[in-house]
Structure 1
Amino acid sequence: MRDYVPIEKNRLPERFEMDLAGDTFVFQFNYNKTYDFFTVDLYDYKQNPLVIGEKLVLGVPLWSDLVSDNLPAPTLIPMDESGNTERITFDNFMVTTFLFVDDIAPTQEEPSLESDT
């Protein structure tokens, strides 16, 4: 089971520290009520801004269009593991749709001594 980032959507904007792969980051989550979407601001442990206003898009890893050694090592990706959600909304976020820490190794097929014939 994947871990997810615990976000209190009813308390936004919410800012907290989180350790990822041995580094401490500060996250601030925001909600745009007019257009019904969420964004995240990312800071280093000294509160220096790294990325501001990254929109959470279903199935798209955060900061996927950026290359920087300062970004968190594990992939953070908004997903609905049931596959029923088409977009992130206030109603489904933190109910069926979560911001997962994608740190699970891909499953490998078990080797078998039996032939396929």
Structure 2
Amino acid sequence: MPKKVYRCGDCGEVHDLHWDAERCCMPTPMEGWVCPVCDEVFDDEEEAERCCASVSPEGELVTCPNCFRDHDDAAHQAEVQIAGHCSVCNPSFSVDEDFKIHDIVAEHAHKHAMKLAGW
């Protein structure tokens, strides 16, 4: 989940707290959203959520066998892999399936972060 940050309106420095952004250069701070993997700042929460962590590692599309939708999102691909359907057509998963899906998505995010760090 992306975290909300505040940018200084003059110098563009990113701050975790609204108060810090206000005190930076004393302009009106601008809100932004940070990708949880690569820390890139976006103006829109949805853009931050769709950033690099959510895209499948191979860039491939996976088709849900239940609704026939194509997904490039890592979370939807993990859902299809584990449960045999995506959350768009059927949002119900067992507790075990839910844990496995979250583990796959977290592993993907970790690998992506390591790639960005040059590891």
Shorter-chain TM-score bucket reads under 0.3
Q: Tell me which protein shows more helix as a share of its residues.
A: 2
Please identify which structure carries the higher strand content.
1
When the two structures are superposed, what TM-score results if normalisation uses the length of structure 2?
Answer: 0.25
TM-score using structure 1 length: 0.26
